[in-house]
A and B are shown apart, each in its own frame.
Chain A
Amino acid sequence: MNSTGITFLSATETARAIKAKEISPVAAVQAYLDRIDRLDSRLAAYITVIREEALGNAQQVADLIQQGKDPGVLAGVPIAVKDQYWTKGILTTNGSNVYKDFVPSEDSTVIKRLKDAGSILLGKLNLSELAMGGTQNPPWGIPANPWDFDCTPGESSSGSGVALAAHLCAASMGEDTGGSGRGPASYCGVVGLRPTFTRVSRFGMTHMCWFMDAAAPMTKTVEDCAVMLGVIAGYDDKDPYTSHRPVPDYTARMRDGVNGLRVGLIKELHDTEDMHPDVRSAIEASLNTFRALGAEVKEVSVPLAELAGAIFVGVADTEGAGARDEILRNQPGDLDQASRTRLQSAALMPAKVYNRAAKARVLLRRQVMEVLSDVDILLSPTSPYPAPRHTDLTAKFENADDVRKRFFFRRAYTGIYSLTALPAISIPGGFTEDGLPIGLQLGAAPFAEETLFRAAYSYERATNWHTSVAPAILEERI
């Protein structure tokens, strides 16, 4: 297999090929390093690439295989992580000049578990400043969407989406507070999971909102995502909120099909004039796909869903502003203008309004849980429109109505699961007429990730959207 062929394998295909000695871990890492050299100057997916360390670690995995030892489920798989995860001895910028010299003294739990599973860290990925969004001048370059370089790859795990869609890593880690993992997955045409809130440790992950931040595996396939979650999930005494529940083999029931599964289209996230027509068509086609696969499809109502974006910003941004108080007071000039104005506006939140938003969050959870007693899977687009152009995303807000349309509307689609602490996955769901990816979002009850993977895998196999590669990437037109 040639170098480019290696980089087009999924993570699980890579691990299988390495264990079968069809390719060596060193060859896999070198293939990705060469590709990063060829493509990333234009894509700006990476902030830091750790070449020598990656090659050295790959050799160690090769030695284990040579000795007949088990190298782990992700043996030799070249991965990359959002630069929000602490990595011992490696720069961790959080996408901000405020942290431009921050070198952690220990690994985050997610990084440790990924290493223990045999994966090879290639480097740290670009992101919106402080894992927020709308950054106008990212210090380490503007990540380009592989499907259209003039469009955003999504926020805030931008580099994690770009690196996957451009095959600059076999799997990546994003982080998802309000949709920061699922959004880029949607815009880049890859898979992104927000697990149940307490499923994965957040130790060593710089916080945006401490009670909504979630580690988000991002992958080329649903199977890869199930494997990644199995590696990183489980109790961690460094994060007291992690669940003691045992971690299942998330691939075990993945191929069981969806016959009899109850799928609910969220009415409030579909009956809106502001949705892009191609997104609406893709969602309606997905309902037909699930019907054809044997699922029972119905419409369900979550009345507060349309306000989820505002509730999310009211709660999460206020928490974020509180956590960043020192920076806001003492280093506001080190922040990007978009981060600064967003945090400053959130810092002005009256206590009674915050309290009302916090109560509405609980009511939203009740509404969603009631619906989930009637269906197994909730369905909506991940975003009501495809990737916007960079210039549209970063344009200054003209007035309050402009903020509502460009800031709150989209956040309702992903915010609904962030607010309610429920698992949700974004998978490739088709393309617009202009060739931009559309994300299909599936949600489920707490700890029902196995059901999510069942539905997502069935849909993925029935459609094969995930096998598409952006033309500029395929032809290396950079």
Chain B
Amino acid sequence: MAIDKTTVSELAHLAGINIVDDELEEVTSRFSSLMQELDRLRDLDLDSIIPVTIFAEDAQA
């Protein structure tokens, strides 16, 4: 997914967040990099996994 300053600006507007012009470039770099890195998770088979926040104390995995 191509992410540019316009996309980030629109997303921020929808989220109710005000990004000042001087910092839009940096927010775009951070967000774009995070999306790129996490895009690598698409290759994993995660369908059967249920997310948890706290792991059970006696869980072996």
Contacts and interface: CB of A to CB of B under 8 A. Distances in A.
Interface string B19-44: 10001001101111111111011101
Interface string A337-373: 1001110111111000101111111110110011000
B55 A197 contact: yes
B33 A400 contact: yes
B51 A359 contact: yes
A403 B29 contact: yes
Chain A contact surface mostly? helix
Interface stretch (A34-42, A102-110, A308-316): A308-316
Contact of B12 (A309, A344, A398): A344
Contacts of B40: 307, 310
A402 interface: yes
Contacts of B15: 347-348
Interface in B47-61: 49-55, 57, 60-61
Nearest to B10: A348
Contact of B27 (A241, A313, A345, A398): A345
A349 B15 CA distance: 10
B30 A341 contact: yes
B6 interface: no
A243 B44 CA distance: 32
Is the interface on chain A under 10, 10 to 19, 20 to 34, or 35 or more residues? 35 or more
A329 B53 contact: no
Contacts of A255: none
Interface in A302-335: 304, 307, 309-311, 313-314, 328-329, 332
**Majority-rule SS of B interface residues:** helix
B51 A310 contact: no
Contact of A362 (B19, B23, B32, B52): B52
A337 B30 contact: no
B48 to A, nearest CB: 9
B41 A408 contact: no
Contact of A310 (B8, B38, B53): B38
A465 interface: no
A361 B12 CA distance: 26
Contacts of A307: 37, 40-41
A74 interface: no
A359 B12 contact: no
Nearest to A210: B53
A65 to B, nearest CB: 39
Contact of B46 (A346, A356, A369): A356
A172 to B, nearest CB: 27
A360 B41 contact: yes
A396 B28 CA distance: 12
Contacts of B44: 304, 360, 363
A365 B18 CA distance: 36
A446 interface: yes
A311 B40 CA distance: 10
Contacts of B50: 359, 362
B29 A365 contact: no
Contact of B29 (A241, A399, A446): A399
B39 to A, nearest CB: 8
Contact of B32 (A341, A346, A400): A400
Contacts of B32: 400, 403
Contacts of B18: 329, 332
A397 B36 CA distance: 15
B37 A408 contact: yes
Contacts of A140: none
Contact of B37 (A310, A341, A359, A397): A310
B33 A404 contact: yes
B25 to A, nearest CB: 8
Interface of A: 197-198, 211, 241, 243, 245, 304, 307, 309-311, 313-314, 328-329, 332, 337, 340-342, 344-349, 353, 355-363, 365-366, 369-370, 396-404, 407-408, 420-421, 446
Interface of B: 8, 11-12, 15-19, 23, 26-27, 29-38, 40-42, 44, 46, 49-55, 57, 60-61
Given A369-B61, A397-B33, 16 more contacts: A310-B37, A314-B37, A332-B18, A344-B17, A344-B27, A346-B34, A347-B15, A348-B8, A348-B11, A356-B38, A356-B42, A362-B50, A397-B26, A404-B33, A420-B55, A446-B55
30 contacts: A211-B54, A307-B41, A311-B38, A328-B17, A329-B18, A337-B23, A344-B12, A344-B17, A344-B19, A344-B27, A345-B31, A345-B34, A346-B34, A348-B27, A348-B31, A353-B35, A356-B41, A357-B41, A358-B51, A359-B50, A359-B51, A361-B51, A362-B49, A365-B55, A365-B61, A397-B29, A397-B30, A403-B30, A403-B32, A403-B34
